[in-house]
Amino acid sequence: MNLCRDGILRYGTLAVVAVAIVLPFLTGSMFFLNLLCLLLIFIIFASAWNLLAYSGQGSLGHAAFFGIGAYASTLIAAQSGISPYITIFLGAAVAAFIGVLIGLTCVRLKEWFLAMVTFGFAIIVQTLTVSILASSTGGWDGIASPRLISPDVPGYQLIEYYSILVITIASILAIWWIMKSRVGLAFSAIRENELEARASGINPVRYRLLAFAMSAYLAGVAGALEIHHIGYITPEIYNVDISFWPVTYVIFGGLGTLAGPIVGTIVLTFIWESLKMAGLTFARYVIVGVLLILVIIFLPKGLVDLPNRLRQWWQVRKKPVPDVAPVTE
């Protein structure tokens, strides 16, 4: 049974990757290709958030790392002329460094204190960007960011798409490897019971910082990719919205699972874009909000748990209803 499920998973993953490779050739529409790029970027971002949540820390300010990675990469690329392909990883390193700093203030905090500190941190970073750092960041107006591939290159969109795809797959493989390694075990031990984790020799502070660093790094990669893809950056990248999206995607897909952020991002983006085509604007958010609440209440493990739930439901239904003897005096 397990082996069979492993097989399904392996072929399923291969199928998804194959579809991702072939998809651009099927449509050829630039709008669709752009959408796919953003989808992949948000898969990285949601997975990064998920990795932090995997260690029991729910951040409400991941836009900070997304934005720091983007700004750092843009500034390095613009000032030194290094290719964005390299600065993406340098910018993300800056985000990881800041992530460790904010992690240091958070490691001793309870869940919702941490949520607030991270939320506030995104606002502080935005304020710094438009005040003290305005001379280099362009303040509220933002600055142009070097493109990943110069638009002069023929077929640059396709090259960009495949670059992003490769980075996405690499990030997910990295997260998969982290989750199944000793570090991942330590993360889930801390999440489930910090006291017991400590008793078995895990230093929670060190692992929490590690989770912060890795999560901020990947979020920084995602942010830098998005900005080099769009070609322009403004402080709106730190908005509350950007912090909430990865949370929404992950909860939708399934918190703490590898597939959760991927499934959640794909499904929600699909719903989102369909609603957009139906001409809805604000109502889209209302629908997503309602869906989110329904998922939290009725599917606490997210969409990835849906097959299991359906199977259970099916088995319960198939079982004959036991005869209940009428209660008599």
Partner 1 sequence: MVDIGIILQILFWGIYAGCIYILLATGLNLIFGVMKVVNFAHGEFLMIGAYITATIFLLTGINPYAIILLSMLVLVGIGAVVERLCFRPILGTSKLNEIFLSIGLIYIFQNATAMIWSDEWQSIKSPYQGITVPIGSLNVPLDYIIIMVLTAAILCILYLFLKKTVLGREMRATSQNRKGAMLVGINVERMDVLSFGIGCALAAAAGTLWVVSGQVFNPYMGSIPAVKAFAIIILGGLGSIPGAIIGGLIYGIAENGAAFLLGGVWKDAVSFVILIVVLVLKPTGLFGESGE
Residues in contact with partner 1 by the rule CB under 8 A = 53, 58, 60, 105, 108-113, 115-117, 119-121, 123-124, 126-128, 130-131, 240, 244, 247-248, 251, 255, 282-286, 288-290, 292-293, 296-297, 300
Q: How far is the CB of 184 from partner 1 (least distance, A)?
A: 19
Tokens for 317?
């239904």
As measured in angstroms, the least distance from the Cβ of 239 to partner 1 is 10
Residues 43 and 200: beta-carbon distance below 8 Å = no
In a 10 Å sphere around its CB, with 0-12 CB exposed, 13-18 middle and 19+ buried, how is residue 152 labelled? exposed
Q: How far is the CB of 321 from partner 1 (least distance, A)?
A: 27
Contact between 26 and 39 (Cβ < 8 Å): no
Angle formed by the axes of helices 63-80 and 111-130, to 10°? 30
Kindly state the smallest distance separating residue 73's Cβ from partner 1, in Å: 24
Q: What does the alpha-carbon distance between residue 90 and residue 85 come to, in Å, rounded to a whole number?
A: 10
Report the C-alpha gap between 287 and 265 in whole angstroms. Answer: 16
Cβ closest to partner 1, residue 82 vs residue 291: 291
Q: How far is the CB of 240 from partner 1 (least distance, A)?
A: 6
Q: Which is nearer to partner 1, 110 or 319 (CB)?
A: 110
Angstrom distance (rounded) from CA 87 to CA 78: 10
Give the three-class secondary structure for 233: strand
Cβ closer to partner 1: 10 or 206? Answer: 206
DSSP at 144: E
Closer residue to partner 1 (CB): 6 or 192: 192
Minimal distance, residue 60 CB to partner 1, in Å = 7
Identity of the residue, 121 or 161, whose beta carbon is nearer to partner 1 in the bound complex = 121
When the beta carbons of 291 and 306 are compared against partner 1, the nearer one is: 291
> Phi/psi at 77 (nearest 5 deg)?
-65, -40
Alpha carbons 109 and 265: distance in angstroms, whole number: 29
Q: Nearest Cα to 47, choosing from 266, 195, 206?
A: 266
The least CB distance from residue 11 to partner 1, in Å, is 32
Residue partners of 22: CB distance under 8 A and separation at least 6: none
Smaller CB separation from partner 1, 37 or 209: 209
Nearer to partner 1, 104 or 144 (CB): 104
The rounded distance, in Å, linking the Cα atoms of 50 and 59 is 10
Q: How many residues does the chain have?
A: 329
- Smallest distance from partner 1 to CB 41, Å: 20
